[in-house]
C-alpha cells in the first residue's frame, strides 16, 4: 500500500446541484441520462423506504476485508456517500451497526456496497440509508489493502469519485459529475410530462399514443395496420 492507492482530493458535484438533483427519483434521472447508470438490481435498500442523494466517495476492498472502509471513513466529507466495491461477496459482512453509526456521526449521507452488511434490524431502527447485496452475520477481517478515491465497478457500473449518486426503493443510479447539472432541465420536463400522461390515463385515455408506430417499426404490424 502506498499513497498512490489513496486519492484524498477530487472534485465533487457542488452541494446546490446535489440538492436540485435530489428532488428527482433515481428512475427519472436514469431515463434522462439515456436509460443508463443504474446499478444491478442485486444492490438494493435494506428497507424500501430508504433513500438518499450525494457525492460518491469510492472504495475498493478485498472480499471480506474492511480495512480500507475504515480508512475511507477517516477521509470522507459530510455529504459523501461511501460507494464500496466489495466484489459482490456475500460470505461475510463488511459493515454493521458500529460503522454505520460512525458514518452518520460523520455526516456521510449513505452507504452503497457491492457486498454484504449485518445488524440489519439495528440499521433499520437507525433509519440510515444502506444499500447492499444482502446480509451475513459473519464479520470481516481488517488486514488487506485496497484503494480509495479511484474509479470502481459497483453493480456493473463504473463510479468515479465525486459523481452524483442517489437511491430509493427502486435501486441506485449514478450520474457523471460533469453531466448531472445538464440533466436537471430534462428531469424537470419529464416529471411534468409524466404527470400530464397520468392525468390523461385517469380521464380514460389509456392507449399509448406511440404504440402503433412502434409496432410498425418493430415489424409486428404492417404500415397502415393498427391494433
Looking at the chain, the whole-number percentage of residues with pLDDT higher than 70 is 99
Express each pLDDT in 2-31 by its tens digit. Answer: 558 999 999 999 999 999 999 999 999 999
Distance (Å) of CA 42 to CA 116, 132, 161: 11, 8, 22
What's the confidence (pLDDT) of residue 2?
Answer: 56
Query: By C-alpha distance, which of 107, 106, 103, 105 is closest to 84?
Result: 103
pLDDT of 32 higher than 70: yes
CA 208 and chain centroid, separation: 30
Look at the alpha carbons of 87, 147, 140, 52 in this order and tell me if their dihedral is positive or negative.
negative
Residue 148 predicted with pLDDT over 70: yes
pLDDT tens digit sequence for 176-204: 999 999 999 999 999 999 999 999 999 99
pLDDT tens digit sequence for 63-116: 999 999 999 999 999 999 999 999 999 999 999 999 999 999 999 999 999 999
Say what the pLDDT of residue 227 is: 87
Residue 189 is placed in which grid cell?
Answer: 420536463
Element containing residue 181 per DSSP (H, E) = helix 180-202
Q: Report whether 126 contacts 81 (CB < 8 A).
A: no
Which pLDDT score is estimated for 1?
47
Which tens digits make up the pLDDT trace of 38-67?
Answer: 999 999 999 999 999 999 999 999 999 999
Amino acid at each position: 500500500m502506498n499513497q498512490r492507492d489513496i486519492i484524498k482530493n477530487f472534485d465533487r458535484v457542488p452541494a446546490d446541484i446535489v440538492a436540485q438533483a435530489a428532488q428527482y427519483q433515481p428512475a427519472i434521472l436514469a431515463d434522462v441520462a439515456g436509460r443508463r447508470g443504474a446499478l444491478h438490481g442485486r444492490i438494493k435498500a435494506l428497507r424500501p423506504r430508504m433513500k438518499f442523494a450525494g457525492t460518491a466517495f469510492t472504495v475498493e476492498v478485498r472480499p471480506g476485508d474492511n480495512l480500507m472502509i475504515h480508512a475511507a471513513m477517516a477521509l470522507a466529507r459530510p455529504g459523501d456517500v461511501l460507494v464500496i466495491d466489495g466484489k459482490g461477496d456475500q460470505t461475510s459482512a463488511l459493515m454493521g451497526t458500529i460503522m454505520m453509526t460512525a458514518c452518520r456521526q460523520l455526516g456521510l449521507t449513505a452507504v452503497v456496497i457491492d457486498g454484504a452488511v449485518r445488524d440489519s434490524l439495528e440499521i433499520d431502527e437507525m433509519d440510515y440509508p444502506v444499500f447492499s447485496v444482502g446480509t451475513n452475520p459473519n464479520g470481516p477481517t481488517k488486514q488487506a489493502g485496497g484503494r480509495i478515491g479511484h474509479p470502481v465497478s459497483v453493480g456493473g457500473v463504473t463510479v468515479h469519485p465525486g459523481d452524483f449518486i442517489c437511491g430509493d426503493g427502486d435501486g441506485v443510479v449514478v450520474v457523471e459529475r460533469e453531466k448531472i447539472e445538464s440533466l436537471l432541465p430534462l428531469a424537470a420536463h419529464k416529471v411534468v410530462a409524466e404527470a400530464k400522461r397520468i392525468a390523461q390515463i385517469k380521464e380514460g385515455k389509456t392507449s399509448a399514443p406511440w404504440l402503433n408506430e412502434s409496432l410498425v417499426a418493430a415489424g409486428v404490424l404492417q404500415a397502415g395496420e393498427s391494433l
